[in-house]
């Protein structure tokens, strides 16, 4: 009884002792693939505390720039333990994560969905302002505008461009990919709006002029070999088409990298003349 009372008294006294102040919050972290791109592209490395585990999936951009940086999961406990001042997120974490982070004093920069080329440039400027990287964002927007304008100066149309992914998905009007294709002077092969499967039968009757491939560089999106994109019929239907492949990271998130995809298609178009 006496021992128990002594322990209880000790616990009570310990609770009354002043606690050491927590270290101040500092730096910025990103918690998903698109947030990684934005943070690594806009902010100096010395301000970055950590990036997400998805950074390794972006072999063309994020992975080399994130080498040596800590990796973070989009979970409240892991983020709070690191004590960043700012969290950049696109889709990572639960729906209530932003409210939870802000309740602990962490500012959240939420990236939106860029469905058009206009959205792309606006999101870059907004993110730059929110992250204290306005001049860097402005410079990237200027380069993006230059690439898109140069592509559009060609005039006219160079034929149809069929977008192909490892998952056998393609797209038509109403998508950012379709805007990229149109900006480079091509017409999307798929005429129906939105996303859908590869139109193999149509491809046999009406082969595309150009095949536009993306995401074949990333293990995150790579499917097995039993896919329509590797089917002999598809190979024959696209045998005479110009083939352009870009890193998936150029089309994933809607930022300055999207301009590189426009330029790649425009360069191919010039070579086809």
The CATH number for 196's domain is: 3.40.50.1980
In the block, tokens 């992914």 appear at: 165
The whole model's pTM is what? 0.85
pLDDT at position 10: 38
Closest CA to 111 of 28, 38, 27: 38
Asked whether residue 34 falls in the same domain as residue 78, the answer is yes
Q: Are residues 189 and 84 in the same domain?
A: no
Q: Tens of pLDDT along 219-232?
A: 665 555 556 666 67
For residue 75, give both structure tokens.
Answer: 């979970």
Residues 150 and 240 in one domain: yes
pLDDT of 21 reads 64
DSSP letter at 154 equals T
Per-chain mean pLDDT for the chain: 87
Q: List CB contacts of 251: < 8 A, sequence separation 6 or more.
A: 176, 177, 180, 214, 215, 257, 258, 261
Q: In this structure, are 266 and 150 located in the same domain?
A: yes
Looking at the structure, tell me whether residues 155 and 216 fall in a common domain: yes
CA atoms within 13 A on the CB side of 234: 19
pLDDT bin (cut points 50, 70, 90) of residue 261 is very high
Residue 180 or residue 201, greater confidence: 180
165 and 260 in one domain?
Answer: yes
Question: Does residue 17 register a pLDDT over 50?
Answer: yes
Instruction: Provide the domain limits for residue 174.
Output: 145-272
Which pLDDT value is given to residue 235? Answer: 73
pLDDT, position 166: 84
The percentage of the chain sitting over the pLDDT mark of 70, rounded to a whole number, equals 84
Tally helices (H) and strands (E) across the chain.
11, 11
pLDDT value for 238: 76
Q: Are residues 156 and 251 in the same domain?
A: yes
Of 85, 111, 137, which residue is a domain's last?
A: 111
> Is residue 208 located within the same domain as residue 251?
yes
User: What is residue 33's predicted lDDT score, i.e. its pLDDT?
Assistant: 96
24 — pLDDT class (breaks 50, 70, 90):
confident
pLDDT at 202: 87
pLDDT at residue 234, rounded to an integer: 75
- Whether 9 is in a domain gets the answer no
Count of domains for the chain? 2
The whole-number average pLDDT for the span 110-119 is 94
Span 195-215, average pLDDT: 89
Q: Does position 2 have pLDDT exceeding 60, yes or no?
A: no
Does residue 23 sit within a domain? no
Asked whether residue 81 is assigned to any structural domain, the reply reads: yes
Mark whether 97 and 171 lie in a shared domain. Answer: no
Q: Is residue 36 part of a domain?
A: yes
Looking at residue 4, its pLDDT comes to 46
Please tell me the predicted confidence (pLDDT) of residue 6.
43
Closest-CA residue to 47 (of 29, 27, 69) = 27
Q: Does one domain contain both 165 and 101?
A: no
The mean per-residue pLDDT over the stretch 80-107 comes to 93
Domain end, chosen from 51, 85, 111, is at 111
The predicted-structure confidence for 136-178, as pLDDT tens digits, reads as follows 999 999 999 999 999 988 766 679 999 998 888 899 999 999 9
* pLDDT value, residue 226: 54
Q: Maximum CA pair distance of the chain?
A: 95
């Amino acid at each position: 009884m006496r021992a128990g009372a002594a322990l209880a008294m000790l616990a009570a006294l310990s609770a009354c002792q002043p606690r050491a102040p927590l270290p101040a919050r500092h730096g910025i972290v990103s918690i998903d693939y698109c947030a990684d791109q934005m943070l690594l592209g806009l902010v100096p490395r010395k301000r970055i505390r950590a990036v997400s585990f998805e950074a390794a999936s972006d072999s063309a951009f994020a992975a080399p720039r994130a080498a040596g940086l800590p990796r973070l999961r989009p979970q409240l406990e892991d983020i709070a333990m690191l004590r960043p001042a700012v969290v950049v997120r696109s889709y990572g974490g639960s729906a209530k994560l932003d409210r939870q982070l802000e309740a602990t004093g962490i500012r959240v920069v939420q990236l939106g969905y860029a469905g058009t080329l206009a959205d792309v440039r606006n999101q870059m400027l907004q993110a730059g302002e929110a992250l204290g990287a306005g001049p860097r964002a402005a410079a990237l927007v200027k380069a993006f505008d230059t690439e898109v304008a140069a592509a559009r100066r060609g005039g006219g149309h160079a034929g149809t461009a069929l977008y192909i992914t490892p998952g056998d998905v393609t797209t038509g009007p109403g998508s950012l990919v379709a805007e990229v294709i149109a900006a480079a002077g091509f017409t999307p092969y798929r005429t129906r709006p939105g996303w859908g499967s590869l139109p193999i039968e149509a491809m046999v009757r009406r082969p595309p002029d150009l095949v536009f491939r993306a995401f074949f560089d990333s293990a995150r999106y790579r499917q097995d070999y039993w896919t329509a994109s590797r089917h002999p019929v598809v190979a024959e239907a696209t045998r005479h088409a110009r083939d352009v492949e870009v890193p998936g990271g150029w089309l994933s998130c809607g930022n300055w990298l999207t301009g590189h995809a426009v330029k790649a298609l425009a360069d191919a178009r010039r070579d086809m003349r």
